[in-house]
Structure 1
Amino acid sequence: MKKNTITLLLLLIVILNLTAKEYKLLSPNGNLCFYLQDERPNGELAYEIKYKDQPVILLSSMGISGWENKLELEKIKDTTNDEVWKQVYGERAEVRDHYNQKTFIVKKTGRGDKLNIEVRAYNEGIAFRYVNAGNGYQTIKSENTTFVTPPETYCWFAPFAQSRYTYLPIRDWPGESERPLTMKLKNGLYTCLAEAEMVNYCRTKFVVNKGEENIIRCKMYENIEDIAPFATPWRVIMVAEKPAELLANNDIILNLNAPNKIKDTSWIKPGKIFRITRLTTEAAKKCIDFAAERSIEYVHFDAGWYGSETSRDSDPRKSDVDPARCDVNDLNIPEVTAYAKTKGIGVWLYVNQRALDMYLDEILPLYQSWGIAGIKFGFVHVGNVKWTYWLHEAVKKCAAHNLMVDIHDEYRPTGFSRTYPNLLTQEGICGNEEFPDGNTTTTLPFTRFICGAGDATICYFHRRELKEKLPLNARSLESTACHQLALSIIEYSPLQFIYWYDSPEDVYGVPEIAFFDQLPTVWDDTKVLNGEIGENISIARKKDGVWFVGCITNNDARKQTLALDFLDPAKKYEMTLYTDGGEKVKTRTHVAVETKQVNTKTQIKLDMLPRGGVAMIIKEK
């Protein structure tokens, strides 16, 4: 392109921007600024975002189908909010919801209805959505929202919810990107595009069109037909100076959802859970005994307990074990549940969406009468409006029968657990049962876990060399034992599966399993101590005055120093430290366990193996 042509284009952009009127919205601390441009030549709306005067999102489009142009700003409403709400459970006991908001009321030539654009500025990020409170029906075919990133922005790209991540520039993507989408800007800032309160709408992913660069577009799963009134999900742009701050600030997703609607939440009890791998009454009772011995709150019957899940004839109203899963068909769920109750253990049942769709209204009161604690939804449909609405309505129905929920497969959270906290967790993640490498497990906290809890299934004795007692030099490239210990802290899930591939007989002979006996699954406080995406992360979480700390590295060995300055300086503590000890530790897992006296000035030197980790329990003396 010739120099004079470039000059003319730049001049044209300047002229067009001079004709626009700009409105500014600041975050409470003044660091983040959202700018809305009005009165553009074609009646379009555009926005940009800056952090401490550094560009985050360059001038980008706003609007939905039917509201792309010929728009006129009629009125602006200003509000502010600063409150602290208590969670039923979470990564911290209390959450601050602090933001400034502008509602831009827009009208369009030739139309009588109006569109509200609600924009909130938090210290953690900017969020906006499109709202039509009128009665006129509308079909939404597309969303005009774009996110124009500064040049040389890179992202961690995942095409679907359970995939691994690839580090890519914002150009020529190989398909759609899942949300949230974490990015690194050339100026050193980190940002994350997310979606909140996607309850009665279709899923929106992100795309970069062929031939375009640094322009991220919203791609709706399908049209929204004849909807009124409506509010689109929130589009969220989080901004941070360090990757750890993105994860530390993930409460913004919960804040963008409606408050808890369950009046009595006393029956909602997070905890650890153990999968029953042999589907017989006798095996189930042995697992219940094991759970009671090891302070595990729940046992779980996975696919196959009511027949083949691929068959429409399989009936979740009765036990009828799939012969492909077990050679004995004597499972009695009510009997097992009654036995579990005598041991203080709850029972969860897996039911896939096909059976849920056919029998939901029958099985919910039935399971409640049996004393079932919760249901794990399997093979759910995600993306379109019909099944998104169905899924969230099913969670509401479960709440009416005191049943907790774990949603599996491609479902990713957008904060609905705040409104219906009986939805404890969900998959939508490349979990440990898929044997991700260290590069993946050190990427997930800064990507997938920004949007909420992830049921990633801790797999402790899963490795072949442990069960077959192979020598250390014959080990596979899977994560170490301490990597899995640390993941149970790092990968937040109120319902935490442990020993995923194991039976009670596998869990013996190593002292470090006492760590899992003490492990909580929800927390009073959480601190993301440090981390780099795809390299390492350290997290400290506190419950009832006890700190649990997890540190992991990627596929590379790593030495680092961890400061314990998050501890109370007025107190002294005793730490139990779990490290990968190598051949000098003569147990199957080669985990070294030692105790140390520590305080807020202590610095722990970590020497982690490739795909390794360190775990700690720190108690007041």
Structure 2
Amino acid sequence: MKFIKIISAALVLCASTNAYSQTASVTQTSPDKRISLTVSTINKKLVYNIKADKKILIDNSPLGLIADSVDLGDNVVMRGVVQNSKVKESYPILGNHPTAHNEANELDIPIIAAGKPMSVIVRIYNDGVAIRYSIPAGIKRIDGERTGWVMPANIDKIAWADYSQSYEGVNYVTAFDKVPEGKTIMGPVTFQTNGYYLSVSEADVENFSDMSFMRNGNVLSAYFPFAKKGWEVKPPSTTIYLNGTYKGQQVTPWRTTMIARSLNELANSDLITNLCPPPPKGSDFSWVKPGRSMWQWWSIGAPKLDDQKQWFDAAAKLKWEYYLIDDGWRNWKKDGKDQWTLLKEAIDYGKTVGVKSIVWVDSKEFRKAPERKAYLDRVKAIGASGIKIDFIPDATAEIMQWYAETQQECADLHLLLNFHGSVKPTGLNRSFPNDITREAIRGNEYHMTRYRRVMPPQHDVTVPFTRLLTGPADFTSVILDPKQLATTKFSWPHEFAQAVVYLSPIIHFTDQYQFYLDNPMFDLFQTVPTVWDETRVLPCTSMGDVVAFARRKGSTWWVGVMNGGEEREVKIPLDFLTKTTKATLVYDGETNTSVDRKEKTVSKKDVLTIKLRPSGGFVAKM
């Protein structure tokens, strides 16, 4: 059931003398009163700070837009009446749990910045805060932002990623002083400090350039690598639902700070989707179905026309719902038939064995609206269930509107959508649930022999607390080919655990189908879910070292453990179980491409002791 309740009130600004004072502040707390956000002017500069349990987590940090070559975070006075509202709603999601609960206190704080009236809009949740700006009337160009995060002095560890146009950089966990200065790093950036985990990113990016970060001393600042010279502000679209407006005014995206007392709280946060609009009124997304997908490009390259039936048949044997026909089908020709006719024949065959099809396309085929609509109509007409769009340009404000347009048009046609070579998600899969997964991650395409690519083990145990905090990731999980696992020597249980730990409502399994059909884990591949009713990050997890998730679907629990580069032993209490049950336990085998599989009865009183090889893993079904 979906419900929303918004209560509004007015707050007079708390100033040192009056509403026109140079020094003023407004404070709001989270619904549970534990987290507070204060927005202030200090010497006419706009700043904010965040506290949790009365501890300062983010000290006074800069706020403000830079527009038309004017710093709208300087020469600021607060004036007028602060509008106070409450958000309370729930909605369905395909993810770590089936329902998201969205409860927050919101303030609209009027300011005059360099003579221009605008607002700072804030939301305070039990698991974080978010800040955005209204764009003053008449602004012609966004040049950048002053928004920053003054980092605490006692950071235990911090997770961040190398610069990459498509978010495919390596993810690291380091000390704060190892984060490069003056260089672009990609978000989210997650750090452990003072008994909390904080993760900073953005949400609801509709027609704004994608935000990354740059470190200068102890300040992490918003940065726009794809629009270094800024961009023009265009009037909001009248035909696109996601047109960059909020409550009737043009706004920036939300700048977000997740706050959690544990990695379990962090991974279960719905802050990013909570900040996004609901689906358009009257929408019905009941046709969006999660599942598992066969995929051939990683293992063999371009799809071969003559063996498409074998791929569909293998998917059917594995009880997988989808098969992705990747780049290369455009070159199919046979018996006087063009590629579209042959593609339809392949899709039609898949339907006869109960497997639906997703079709790959290069984004350059439809960058403009008329071509895009015609192409999508054609994909739908031949019977495809979804589309994978690759090689997308830099995430400028214009391209972010292209994403929004594509989401909407695919939804109208009931086409599932998977963006590859793309920008990170910002929660808008809430608005359009057909945007079911996307890449924007350094996945298994960066561990393959034909390109001489080798994945570092720390990356695998970092991304659950960086990129995956923004939304589902098409990591293309589960390599089994021994030749491909001869370098870093990821183990088979480690690889299978990717399917449990990395959230993707459609998982595209990366390897050639025979490796799944002939594997001792074959029956588990047939039944592993892709969306969950409950998720727990287990206590042995350490960001950048080892990750362990327990996830429940119905009455069945799955456990996935992935180890980093050092041999270790972990203990997993089974206290999440409600009754004694049969369990399948899959440990690392004698080699990295073998398993030690055991069937036994377990109960909530049991504690599993697991010895993990470097880059090893563990999987359980119980």
TM-score, normalised with respect to structure 1? 0.85
Q: Deviations over 1:92-123 (max 9, x none)?
A: 11111111122101234644xx3121111111
Note the C-alpha offset of 1:240: 2.2
Q: Which residue of 2 aligns with 1:70?
A: 75
Counterpart among 138, 146, 149 of residue 148 in structure 2? 146
Q: Which residue of 2 aligns with 1:237?
A: 257
Note the C-alpha offset of 1:135: 5.2
Q: Deviations over 1:309-360 (max 9, x none)?
A: xxxxxxxxxx459xxxxxx999811111111111111111110111132642
The alignment partner of 1:97 has SS state of strand
Q: Which residue of 1 aligns with 2:87?
A: 81
Q: Which residue of 1 aligns with 2:8?
A: none
Note the C-alpha offset of 1:465: 7.3
Once residues 77 and 589 of structure 1 are traced to their aligned partners in structure 2, the CA distance between those partners, rounded to angstroms, is: 60
Deviates more, 1:537-546 or 1:328-337: 328-337
Counterpart among 436, 449, 467 of residue 468 in structure 2? 449
Q: Is structure 2 residue 546 aligned with structure 1 residue 539?
A: no
Note the C-alpha offset of 1:194: 0.8
Asked if the contact 1:453/1:494 (under 8 Å) is kept, the reply is: yes
Q: Which residue of 2 aligns with 1:119?
A: 122
Asked if the contact 1:439/1:534 (under 8 Å) is kept, the reply is: yes
Once residues 466 and 559 of structure 2 are traced to their aligned partners in structure 1, the CA distance between those partners, rounded to angstroms, is: 20
Once residues 396 and 171 of structure 2 are traced to their aligned partners in structure 1, the CA distance between those partners, rounded to angstroms, is: 24
Counterpart among 104, 112, 129 of residue 107 in structure 1? 112
The alignment partner of 2:303 has SS state of coil
Note the C-alpha offset of 1:189: 2.8
Asked if the contact 2:61/2:149 (under 8 Å) is kept, the reply is: yes
Note the C-alpha offset of 1:164: 1.0
Q: 1:282 to 1:152 in 2, by over 3 A?
A: same
Once residues 244 and 543 of structure 1 are traced to their aligned partners in structure 2, the CA distance between those partners, rounded to angstroms, is: 17
The alignment partner of 1:178 has SS state of strand
Once residues 376 and 362 of structure 1 are traced to their aligned partners in structure 2, the CA distance between those partners, rounded to angstroms, is: 16
The alignment partner of 2:538 has SS state of strand
Q: How does 1:561-576 map to 2 (within 5 A)?
A: 561-568=571-578, 571-576=579-584
The alignment partner of 1:397 has SS state of helix
Note the C-alpha offset of 1:379: 0.6
Asked if the contact 2:209/2:396 (under 8 Å) is kept, the reply is: yes
Question: What one-letter code is carried by the residue in structure 1 that aligns with 2:479?
Answer: Y
Larger Rg: 1
Once residues 28 and 273 of structure 1 are traced to their aligned partners in structure 2, the CA distance between those partners, rounded to angstroms, is: 41
Once residues 33 and 125 of structure 1 are traced to their aligned partners in structure 2, the CA distance between those partners, rounded to angstroms, is: 9
Asked if the contact 1:299/1:346 (under 8 Å) is kept, the reply is: yes
Q: 1:173 to 1:157 in 2, by over 3 A?
A: farther
The alignment partner of 1:419 has SS state of coil
Q: Which residue of 2 aligns with 1:613?
A: 617
The alignment partner of 1:464 has SS state of coil
Q: How does 1:99-498 map to 2 (within 5 A)?
A: 99-108=104-113, 110-111=115-116, 114-132=117-135, 136-153=138-155, 155-158=158-161, 159-160=163-164, 161-166=167-172, 167-169=174-176, 172-173=180-181, 175-185=183-193, 187-209=194-216, 213-220=217-224, 221-222=226-227, 223-228=230-235, 229-249=249-269, 251-261=270-280, 263-276=283-296, 277=300, 279-307=303-331, 319=332, 332-357=342-367, 359-435=371-447, 436-464=455-483, 475-498=486-509
Q: Which residue of 1 aligns with 2:4?
A: none
Once residues 105 and 127 of structure 1 are traced to their aligned partners in structure 2, the CA distance between those partners, rounded to angstroms, is: 16
Q: 1:591 to 1:129 in 2, by over 3 A?
A: same
Once residues 559 and 506 of structure 1 are traced to their aligned partners in structure 2, the CA distance between those partners, rounded to angstroms, is: 28
Once residues 520 and 601 of structure 2 are traced to their aligned partners in structure 1, the CA distance between those partners, rounded to angstroms, is: 20
Question: What one-letter code is carried by the residue in structure 2 that aligns with 1:176?
Answer: T
Q: 1:333 to 1:172 in 2, by over 3 A?
A: closer
Counterpart among 558, 564, 586 of residue 578 in structure 1? 586
Q: 1:522 to 1:202 in 2, by over 3 A?
A: same
Asked if the contact 2:76/2:114 (under 8 Å) is kept, the reply is: yes
Q: Which residue of 2 aligns with 1:55?
A: 56
The alignment partner of 1:399 has SS state of helix
Q: Which residue of 2 aligns with 1:94?
A: 99
Question: What one-letter code is carried by the residue in structure 2 that aligns with 1:101?
Answer: E
Asked if the contact 1:577/1:615 (under 8 Å) is kept, the reply is: yes
The alignment partner of 1:141 has SS state of strand
The alignment partner of 1:260 has SS state of coil
Q: Which residue of 1 aligns with 2:450?
A: none
**Identity of matched residues, %:** 26
What root-mean-square deviation, in Å, do the aligned CA atoms of Structure 1 and Structure 2 show?
A: 2.4
Once residues 23 and 527 of structure 1 are traced to their aligned partners in structure 2, the CA distance between those partners, rounded to angstroms, is: 36
Unaligned 5+ segments in structure 2 are 1-20, 236-248, 448-454
Once residues 267 and 82 of structure 1 are traced to their aligned partners in structure 2, the CA distance between those partners, rounded to angstroms, is: 27
Once residues 388 and 81 of structure 1 are traced to their aligned partners in structure 2, the CA distance between those partners, rounded to angstroms, is: 26
Once residues 425 and 230 of structure 1 are traced to their aligned partners in structure 2, the CA distance between those partners, rounded to angstroms, is: 28
Q: 1:201 to 1:305 in 2, by over 3 A?
A: same
Question: What one-letter code is carried by the residue in structure 2 that aligns with 1:198?
Answer: V
Once residues 150 and 511 of structure 1 are traced to their aligned partners in structure 2, the CA distance between those partners, rounded to angstroms, is: 48
Once residues 547 and 53 of structure 1 are traced to their aligned partners in structure 2, the CA distance between those partners, rounded to angstroms, is: 37
Give the paired residue count: 558
TM-score, normalised with respect to structure 2? 0.85
The alignment partner of 1:336 has SS state of helix
Once residues 109 and 595 of structure 1 are traced to their aligned partners in structure 2, the CA distance between those partners, rounded to angstroms, is: 69
Once residues 331 and 476 of structure 1 are traced to their aligned partners in structure 2, the CA distance between those partners, rounded to angstroms, is: 41
Question: What one-letter code is carried by the residue in structure 2 that aligns with 1:57?
Answer: I
